[in-house]
Structures are given as structure tokens and as C-alpha cells.
Amino acid sequence: MTEQYQEGTHLWREARMRKCGIIGCGNVGATTAFTLMQTGWFSEMVLLDLDVRKAEGEAADLAHGLPFHSPMDIYAGDYADLCDCGLIIITAGANQRPGETRMDLMRTNAAIFESIVGNIALYNRDAILLVVTNPVDVLSYVTYRVSGFPACRVIGSGTVLDTARLKQQMGNHLGVDSRNVHSFILGEHGDSELAVWSSANVSGVDLHRYCEDCGRGYDRSVLDGLFQEVRESAYKIIEAKGATYYAIAESIKRIVAAIVRDENSILPVSALVDGHYGLDGVYMSLPCILGRSGIKQVLEIPLSEEEECALDRSAKALKQAIRELKAESVSSPS
């Protein structure tokens, strides 16, 4: 997937990137707004929610903290106010309840997204759309299809958070700063995701060698146990406190930084897979180069045979979910 904009021909994009829209003022949306408010990257932020008073209250509460940060205009608005946003973050949708899988959310949130994305497209066809709501891969695909936007400008938050959770778990296990642990979780942001152990390293030292050098031994069963904890962590947090929002807000901040600052950073966001690893027709997380025009390139990092098989299974699971969604849409009464 290549960048679809020539450098220097869309100088207005840099100016538009000073305005951000956030749709959905629940736990994730409000925490994201609070996190981004503190960065100084934006001069204007508009909040939208089905509950208008909620959006107004969140905007007012955030605005009261502005004397401690950079000047900024934060307000509640409607879809027309998104017309000149360079970035629109979608966090709206039904919440994941205790015991409920991400796929259980699919039907309700897909219907919500068709309405949201349709309204966005009426007023703005040039923004980058960042999808956060779960199941994020399926909803990123829905957003891509409904919006008609080029795939490079429809991005899902993907497994950026999952990867961070894995780095944190591995850092604790290895007794090293988690920022020095390098590995990816790819595929679905959900139950079929996979950890890429074959290229995992600690500051350039192969994970297998690092474990041996530290006297820990390379115990694959222990690593798989850490990965299992990562996959179950969201469910445990939801069971304990009802929702996850701090870490996902930090993940969104990292993605937004790569876009707004045109970093060309490589992050495992959910992107349209178009021939990568022999797969297509689905949104899922792969390492992507991110910049001001969105996804500049989807990378194919080396995978072991086992990992390629796991990625294929993840893609099949997501394609099945999309097929079920399409089938329900066709069979629903008009």
C-alpha cells in the first residue's frame, strides 16, 4: 500500500491537522480528549456524542484545565463542525460488558458506525479516520466501505495496545525496561491475535540469546503464558472496573503523534490487507509506516511458518465475521 498524496501538494493538510474531532464521549473518548489536550498538538478540538449534554460537560471540564497547557479551543459540536478536521477519532459505540467478547459487539456497533461514518462523509472527505471502537478490525473495514475513503486514510488502533501490553509483561519477566523490548502482536485485535516471537529482541539482542545470557533460559511455554495474560488482560480489567481506557488513550496518543508529526513511525495498526502474506479483503494489524497522509506503507516482516499459519487463521476469523455481518445486513427487513 503506497502513499496516495504527493509531498507538497496538500499543504492545507498540515493546517487541518491542527484541528481534531472525537466522536464518542464515553470513557475512552473522554480520556483520549484529556490525553491529547495535554500535548499541544492541536489548536482546536471538537467533541461529538449522541448525548449532547455529555459532550458539553466533557468539553467544559477539559477547557477548565487549559490554563495549565497550551491555548486551545475545546467545544461540543455536531457533524458540520468536523468539516475542516484533519483527523477524526471514532470511539463511539456500545461498551464491552463483562464476559462479552469483542465479536459479540459486532452487530450493534456496525449499525452505529454506518450512521456515524455516513454523517462524517457528508461534511468531510479529506480527513484521516482513526477507528478505536471494538471490534476494531471489523469496524475499520465497515468504515472503509461506508466512507469510500482511500484505505490509507482509514486506520484502526489495531494491536498497538496489545503490543504495549506484551512489552510490559516481557519487561517485567526479563527484568528490563519495557521500552527496550521489541516485538509485535499482529492479526486481529482480539482472540485470534498472534505474538511474533521469531523476531523478538531486547535492544537488538535476539530474545533467545538474551534469555540465555541472563540465565533465564528460553522457555517458550513461559513466553506463551505471558502472551495468554496479554490476551486475557482486557477481560480482567473490564471485570474489575467495567472498562479499559487509560492505556488505550495512550495508544491513541502514540498513533496520533506519528500522524500529526509526520514521523514515519512503524506501528501495528489495523490496515486494509491487500496481498500481504497472500491475504486480502480484510482489515487487520500489520506493521505500518504512519505519517501525515495516513498509512504510507504496510510492511511484511519475516514470520516463521507457525506465525504465518496463525496470521492466516486470524484473517479467516475476521473474514468470517465480515461475512456474517454482510449476511445479516442482507437478511434484515428494510
Cross-strand pairs, 87: 20, 128
CA-wise closest residue to 281 among 321, 307, 315, 327: 315
Dihedral, CA of residue 325, residue 330, residue 331 and residue 333, to nearest 10 = 120
189 given a catalytic annotation: yes
Residue partners of 307: CB distance under 8 A and separation at least 6:
194, 196, 197, 198
Strand partners, 23: 48, 90
Which residues is 130 bridged to in the sheet?
89, 155
Grouping H, G, I as helix, E, B as strand and the rest as coil, residue 56 is helix
Cis preceding linkage at 135, omega within 30: yes
Q: How far apart (Å, rounded) are the C-alpha atoms in residues 45 and 75?
A: 7
188: its cell numbers: 486481529
Please tell me the distance from the alpha carbon of residue 260 to that of residue 270, in angstroms, as a whole number.
Answer: 18
| HEC letters along 130-193 | EECCCCHHHHHHHHHHHHCCCHHHEEECCCHHHHHHHHHHHHHHHCCCHHHEEEEEEECCCCCC
Q: Please say whether the dihedral angle defined by the alpha carbons of residues 320, 326, 328 and 331, taken in this order, is positive or negative.
A: negative
- Share in percent of the chain as helix, strand, coil (round to 5): 50, 20, 30
Catalytic residue among 173, 182, 189, 208: 189
Longest CA span, the chain: 64
Beta bridge partners of 21: 46, 88
Residues catalogued as catalytic? 189
